[in-house]
Amino acid sequence: MPSKLDQLRAMTVVVSDTGDIETVRRLKPQDCTTNPTLLLKAAEMPAYAHLVDEAIDWGKRQGGSHDGAVMATCDRLALNFGAELASIVPGRVSTEVDADLSFDTKATIAKAHSFIKAYEDRGVGRERILIKIASTWEGLRAAEVLQKEGIDCNLTLLFSLAQAVGAADAGAFLISPFVGRILDWHVKAGEGPFTPDTDPGVVSVRQIYAYYKKYGIKTVVMGASFRNTGEIEALAGCDRLTIGPALLDQLAADEGTLVRQLDPSNTEAAPAKVELDEKAFRFMLNEDQMATEKLSDGIRLFVKDLRTLRSMVAKRLEGAEAA
């Protein structure tokens, strides 16, 4: 009997949610995605000291202000990991725009252009990269511009139908609805217990998936942020699922039967068509307390880890300069 992971791969593109390069080599996912939290963890691992050292050595040779050198070095570090991952996976690597640019359309576009050029300078074409952007109104507008330029985007920190519709309207290549963080909010609110089928994160992704399929939307749905294998199994058949190493290992060790749950021909869960402009988007998002709070919280957490990473890089640069 094939493992549940092998069965899942037969119906869903499996993506690894990690910056740990050796784990990616072992698990052999189609695509790979990272974020500031995962990058920070990977940068602190001795196995990847050479990638950090290269970025620091490069950073200390750059001119300009200290703060500018720190930010440029952090970008270099993200690119070092991204290029390494791109050499392993056959599909796409998602590289995230700084979370503190989540409300700045122009700066997000500029950062995306910088990433794409840097990847192309390393021989990694834009067709291998997804630019990961927070699903704010400003992020959606940046994605709309980038998609028209042939730069594919992954809209992340997505917790609601409003954000999913906005991403589709922007022509986003892919969205990453956060299943586990939705569940976290409802559990903290005292709700539950939940089964895999009643898990609010699972229900949200099923609704978005059905909406996209019913209305012929080409944007890829990639469930993310899982808390247990039950959530993953309840979304078997989704376009893509990005899964952390521990849960991938659990699925690989399980030889039970995996039943397909999502199918593009079944759109019964789809809500009515939604028309959005900026005012409607902001109001619809604001009406969803969970999505509003989790979007804000997610940006704050990513900014916190980004600042920690910048602080680490700053200390290393200062040490290099002193030496």
Residues belonging to the active site:
132
Dihedral pair phi/psi, residue 32, rounded to 5°: -145, 140
User: In the chain, which ranges are continuous DSSP H helix?
Assistant: 4-9, 21-27, 36-43, 49-60, 66-86, 105-121, 137-148, 161-169, 179-188, 200-214, 229-234, 245-253, 278-287, 289-322
* Residue 306 to residue 226: CA distance in whole angstroms: 22
The SS3 call for residue 21 is: helix
DSSP 219: P
* Residue 284 to residue 277: CA distance in whole angstroms: 10
Phi-psi region of 56 (alpha: psi -120 to 50; beta: other; left: phi over 0): alpha
